[in-house]
Amino acid sequence: MADTNNIPHEDGLDHSLNLLREGYMYILNRRRSFESDVFETRLLGKKAICMGGKEASEVFYDPDKFKRNGAAPKRAVETLFGKNGVQTLDGEAHRHRKQLFMSLMTPERLQILRDITEKQWDSALSQWEQMEQVVLYEDVQILLCRVACEWAGVAIKEDEVKKWTKELAALFEAAAGVGPMHWLGRNARNHVEQWIQELIEMVRDHKLVSSENTALHKFAWHRDINGELLDIETAAVEVINILRPIVAISIFINFIALAVHHYPEETKKLKNGDGKFAEMFIQEVRRYYPFFPFAAAMVKKDFTWNGFNFEEGTLTLLDLYGTNHDPKIWDNPDVLNPERFAGWEGSPFSFIPQGGGDYFMGHRCAGEWVTIEIMKVSLDYLANRKDFEVPDQDLSYSMVSIPSIPHSKVILQHVKRGM
């Protein structure tokens, strides 16, 4: 391990394989061994900088220093993101598109989302009571697909719910996949894009009435900064940017179930609470368990920070998981402790499970409030409103596979409606 350009760097031609082998821990392991929050490596054949921690996150989210266009790996664009979505935009074009995303997140729209989520949990419970066992990950995805479509104004035929749930899930399950997994993800993207493009065309041709405040309606009629309607492909990519991640909340819901099962003392505190502890519990689930490992950007123009030189065009990864487990920020970061959020003052740069910085000006997740609301409703059902048994199974989860999902996908049996 030598030191050039004053950034500690990993020797060797390429470390993409190490990244695959070490997954969520890749950046954190090196931040520890270099005793530095910034280091240089080589990924996908090119120089790359990795960094983590609060200060690094502040720099990463400075739009004068980093840009997004060209930062996402081609594989992720082909599966997870789609082409020309908000993730790839910079400057005024980004702000204009992001404004539309954020206009979907009003208190009224979030209340509608909570109501839909409760309705879907009730209806799922009625079905689960008739079943011997439920595979939570899979059944919650179906529930969330219904929530996502209803909230976004996307009509879905009852006999196609399972099919579209699987296709939407394939988009994020394949994000870091190689070989057949990647191909499944690409196929799913083609199918889902075609489905949503047809709906957008129908809205524009007035053959489908869409409710005004829904994502489908807003993206169908959105005009870019030049006053032009979005092309149909891009409008569909953005509607899918709402549907896909809502289905992905199934991963956090699996981790809620794990936390409820593994930490009964914490779960007891949820009973008859005023909602404050539930919120702390959710925040701790989002901090503690692995989900999005890092965010990627490109250095916009040469700059120096803390004596380190960042060269224009260098791929830079911000360690999201590692920042949420940084001992400089969190006491005993590897212990699940919702109480840590009791007096938490909040910081857009130190607690970053869904990215950091400003929602409107930067690339922080547009759906963070949606995620928290759906998680709160789901926690209430899992902890307070139903009884179930957890049979013997492998509840462990990988720190390498991205995304990480408990190996058994959380099997529940003899589900009954609770008090």
Nearest to 27 by CA among 56, 69, 58, 59: 56
Nearer to ligand HEM, 291 or 397 (CB): 291
Instruction: For residue 192, state whether it binds ligand HEM (rule: CB under 6 A).
Output: no
Instruction: For residue 86, state whether it binds ligand HEM (rule: CB under 6 A).
Output: yes
Instruction: For residue 219, state whether it binds ligand HEM (rule: CB under 6 A).
Output: no
Tokens of 274: 């005023």
Nearer to ligand HEM, 117 or 354 (CB): 354
Instruction: For residue 240, state whether it binds ligand HEM (rule: CB under 6 A).
Output: no
Nearer to ligand HEM, 28 or 415 (CB): 28
Instruction: For residue 299, state whether it binds ligand HEM (rule: CB under 6 A).
Output: no
Stretch that binds ligand HEM, among 14-22, 159-167, 183-191, 237-245 (CB under 6 A): 237-245
CA 348 to chain centre: 16
Instruction: For residue 222, state whether it binds ligand HEM (rule: CB under 6 A).
Output: no
b/e 52-76 (16+ beta carbons within 10 angstroms → b): bbbbbbbbbbebebbbbeebbbebb
Residues across the chain: 419
Nearer to ligand HEM, 9 or 97 (CB): 97
Listing DSSP states for 367-390 in one string gives THHHHHHHHHHHHHIIIIIEEEE-
Instruction: For residue 101, state whether it binds ligand HEM (rule: CB under 6 A).
Output: yes
Distance separating alpha carbons of residues 36 and 51, to the nearest angstrom: 9
Candidate list 240, 280, 295, 411; residue touching ligand HEM; CB under 6 A: 295
Residue 168, Cβ density class (10 Å: 0-12 exposed, 13-18 middle, ≥19 buried): buried
Q: Is the bond leading into 63 cis (omega within 30 degrees of zero)?
A: no
Nearest to 7 by CA among 42, 37, 28, 44: 37
Instruction: For residue 176, state whether it binds ligand HEM (rule: CB under 6 A).
Output: no
Neighbours of 122 (CB within 10 A): 12
Instruction: For residue 371, state whether it binds ligand HEM (rule: CB under 6 A).
Output: yes
| Least CB distance to ligand HEM at residue 367 (A) | 2
Residues numbered 328-357 forming contacts with ligand HEM, rule: CB under 6 A? 353-355
Nearer to ligand HEM, 291 or 308 (CB): 291
Instruction: For residue 236, state whether it binds ligand HEM (rule: CB under 6 A).
Output: no
Candidate list 8, 52, 245, 290; residue touching ligand HEM; CB under 6 A: 245
Torsion sign (Cα): 26, 372, 72, 5: negative
- Give the interface size with ligand HEM as a residue count (CB under 6 A): 25
Instruction: For residue 290, state whether it binds ligand HEM (rule: CB under 6 A).
Output: no
Instruction: For residue 203, state whether it binds ligand HEM (rule: CB under 6 A).
Output: no
Nearer to ligand HEM, 86 or 171 (CB): 86
| Least CB distance to ligand HEM at residue 131 (A) | 25
- Fill in the DSSP letter of residue 231: P
Instruction: For residue 282, state whether it binds ligand HEM (rule: CB under 6 A).
Output: no
Nearer to ligand HEM, 34 or 81 (CB): 81
Torsion sign (Cα): 178, 179, 185, 186: positive
| Least CB distance to ligand HEM at residue 165 (A) | 15
Nearer to ligand HEM, 336 or 375 (CB): 375
Listing DSSP states for 54-122 in one string gives HHHHHHHT-TTTEE-TTTS-HHHIIIII-TT-GGG--HHHHHHHHHHHHHT--HHHHHHHHHHHHHHHH
Stretch that binds ligand HEM, among 6-14, 246-254, 275-283, 333-341 (CB under 6 A): 246-254
Listing DSSP states for 172-191 in one string gives HHTTT--THHHHHHHHHHHH
Site of interaction with ligand HEM (CB under 6 A): 86-87, 98, 101, 241-242, 245-246, 248-249, 252, 291-292, 295, 320, 353-355, 363-367, 370-371
